[in-house]
Amino acid sequence: MKKHRTNRHNIGANCSKVFLVKKYKTAYKTFILLSAFLFLSAFPALARGWVRDTASYLWSYDLGNGNYCKSTWQWIDDNKSGVAKCYRFDQNGFLLTNTVTADGCSVNENGEWTVNNVVQTKAINVNAASSPSVSQSLPIKKEVLDKINQYRVGSSLSSLDEKESLDAIAEVRAQECAVSFSHTRPQGGSVLNENDVYGEILACNMHTPEKTVQAWEDSPTHNHVMLVKDFESFGSGYYVDSDGNDYCVVLFSYYD
């Protein structure tokens, strides 16, 4: 698909995903996928910014490494003014315009998220690093895990132990979600079945641990993963990209 670059006129939106592998203790390990993989096509690599398809004239947003925003909301401050607007992209990476999205949000002719015809914006620190400092991210990750454990105990289940190896993998996955918000990793494949990972839940632009865990509780599939009785341990990752979009990942395991 041939593309060219051109100038473009310039929610608290949020989204989440879930992926779980269920393990049966038999003579042979059998794994059942409870969530389908999301396979996404890739566009040719270009510099970071807006790209218009020459055939359909639809817009997409190149993240600067050959990957495009797909099946997600994305806060974008494309002129680095310190003010970002939120856009919704479909499964093929194309910008939605002049419509109401599947999650009930309105976007205008420029694809900008609006409420009562007012474009929603978010302040972005253009001088900030892409990822929060360790001192900033550690309390967020810990609070997410604490709230999941509180929810499990309140549901008459045992609490889970935090596992450093899962924390490390989840941190990588959070950064990967900034490239492709999907259970399919940017390079292909899944994190599941590797390093004793059997469940994964994702969140984007929830902004706080409270809203993140509440959104998972409100989603039947995410709720199911958090309340798997036989899980023994978990780990979390948190990442904020240069446009201010935040990503949270929690991984679960049947092993300590």
The whole-model pTM stands at 0.56
Instruction: Read off the pLDDT band of 18 (50, 70, 90).
Output: low
Asked whether the predicted pLDDT for residue 181 surpasses 90, the reply is: no
Q: What pLDDT score was predicted for residue 118? A: 93
Asked whether the predicted pLDDT for residue 180 surpasses 50, the reply is: yes
Instruction: Read off the pLDDT band of 234 (50, 70, 90).
Output: very high
pLDDT digits (tens, 9 = 90+) for 53-110: 888 989 998 876 566 778 778 888 877 787 888 898 888 889 999 999 887 889 999 9
Instruction: Read off the pLDDT band of 10 (50, 70, 90).
Output: very low
Asked whether the predicted pLDDT for residue 134 surpasses 70, the reply is: no
Q: What pLDDT score was predicted for residue 6? A: 39
49-123 homologous superfamily: Cholin Binding (2.10.270.10)
Write the class of the CATH domain 134-253. Answer: alpha beta
Listed residue (115, 106, 64, 63) closest to 88, CA to CA: 106
What secondary structure, in 3-state letters, does the chain show? Answer: CCEECCCCCCCCCCEEEEEEEEEECCCCCEEEECCCCCCCCCCCCCCCEEEEECCCCCEEEECCCCCECCCEEEEECCCCCCEEEEEEECCCCCECCCEECCCCCEECCCCEEEECCEECEEECCCCCCCCCCHHHHHHHHHHHHHHHHHHHHHCCCCCCEECHHHHHHHHHHHHHHCCCCCCCCCCCCCCCCCCCCCEEEEEECCCCHHHHHHHHHHCHHHHHHHCCCCCCEEEEEEEECCCCCEEEEEEEECCC
Assigned token pair, 120 = 């929603």
| Residue 240 exposed, middle or buried by CB count within 10 Å (0-12, 13-18, 19+) | buried
Report which of residues 1 and 32 the model is more confident about: 1
Q: What pLDDT score was predicted for residue 250? A: 95
Asked whether the predicted pLDDT for residue 137 surpasses 80, the reply is: no
The mean per-residue pLDDT over the stretch 172-197 comes to 84
Instruction: Read off the pLDDT band of 25 (50, 70, 90).
Output: very low
| Every domain range in the chain assigned CATH 2.10.270.10 | 49-123
Report which of residues 59 and 28 the model is more confident about: 59
| Every domain range in the chain assigned CATH 3.40.33.10 | 134-253
